[in-house]
Amino acid sequence: MRRELVGGYGVARWTKKRPLGGAVLAVAGAAAAQQWRQRAGGKAAGALTVAYVAAFAGSHPPARKVGAWPAVFGVAGAVALASRAVADRRA
């Protein structure tokens, strides 16, 4: 599971400071992108970074129906599966 997505949401939730959660999300996402680039190259890292950002944005609509934590875990799991398929299996 992409801990970055869960961690960013957790920081925002527990501190009640959304910008702080966004900063955690951005810094951790940049670190993940660097790992992806090292493991799978620039194109794969770019695609996974797009998936990471899309997952963050995509977690908002389902959160209204299933709750925030389930939505965040769901999209984090989806990005983790993509990461595993594209970059992690090569390491």
**What would the pLDDT profile of 33-85 be if each residue is shown by its tens digit?**
999 999 999 999 999 999 999 998 999 999 999 999 999 999 999 999 999 99
The number of CA neighbours under 13 Å toward the Cβ of 2 is 36
Lowest mean pLDDT: which of 1-5, 16-20, 58-62, 74-78? 1-5
- pLDDT, position 4: 81
- pLDDT, position 2: 67
Report the C-alpha gap between 82 and 87 in whole angstroms.
8
- Are the C-beta atoms of residues 46 and 54 closer than 8 Å to each other? no
Tell me: pLDDT of 90 over 80.
Answer: no
Report the C-alpha gap between 71 and 17 in whole angstroms.
19
